[in-house]
């Protein structure tokens, strides 16, 4: 049995990961509407990753005999006004998710829940990669976004991204 506070935070994270998938699907739709299919592809894959992250939390809770509690997923409230703003909001959101993971880790550490800490180690590393990727997108857009030819090349690069499911053994 996991400690109640840890279970509460893990369940909350399921909902936050599903919200992230919803948010990134919204970003993807924005870019498709703008004719930037590569950016749209990149965020559609992000949405798939976030959904899979939620399922990893669900499986972890179930594997530990805990009840999974699903909550309502909020509608994204991010104003999708321009491409750069969307990218900046993506980076901001990844930093927020990192804080959430750290909060769960801290709660597990406090009660010496080493199994949950080990489970979360993968997410800590993953969030570092997510922040780096999101920051890189912002920087690339700042460098190339105003030049149509460069933007076309960047969009093509992002369109080549493919999905690979996370490989985390529980």
What is the DSSP secondary-structure string of 70-119?
Answer: --PPPPP-----SHHHHHHHHHHHHHHHHHHHHHHHHHHHHTT-HHHHHH
Output the pLDDT for position 22.
97
Output the pLDDT for position 168.
64
* Residue 90 near residue 83 (C-beta atoms within 8 A): no
Output the pLDDT for position 94.
98
Output the pLDDT for position 146.
84
The residue among 14, 19, 49, 43 whose CA lies nearest residue 134 is 43
Q: How far apart are CA 83 and CA 85, in angstroms?
A: 5
Output the pLDDT for position 1.
83
* Residue 155 near residue 36 (C-beta atoms within 8 A): yes
Over residues 24-73, the pLDDT tens digits come to 999 999 999 999 999 999 999 999 999 999 999 999 999 999 999 999 99
Q: Which parts of the chain sit beneath pLDDT 70?
A: 167-170
Provide the CATH number for the domain formed by 4-159 in this structure: 1.20.1260.10
């Amino acid at each position: 049995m996991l400690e109640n506070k840890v279970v509460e935070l893990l369940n909350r994270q399921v909902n936050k990961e599903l919200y992230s998938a919803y948010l990134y699907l919204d970003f993807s739709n924005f870019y498709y509407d703008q004719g930037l299919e590569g950016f749209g592809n990149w965020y559609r894959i992000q949405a798939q990753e976030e959904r899979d992250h939620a399922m990893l939390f669900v499986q972890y809770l179930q594997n530990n005999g805990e009840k999974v509690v699903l909550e309502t997923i909020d509608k994204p409230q991010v104003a999708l006004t321009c491409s750069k703003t969307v990218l900046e909001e993506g980076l901001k959101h990844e930093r927020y998710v990192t804080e959430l993971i750290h909060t769960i880790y801290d709660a597990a550490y406090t009660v010496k829940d080493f199994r949950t800490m080990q489970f979360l180690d993968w997410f800590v590393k993953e969030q570092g990669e997510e922040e780096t990727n999101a920051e890189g997108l912002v920087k690339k857009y700042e460098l190339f976004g105003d030049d149509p030819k460069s933007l076309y090349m960047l969009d093509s690069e992002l369109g080549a991204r493919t999905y690979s499911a996370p490989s985390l053994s529980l």
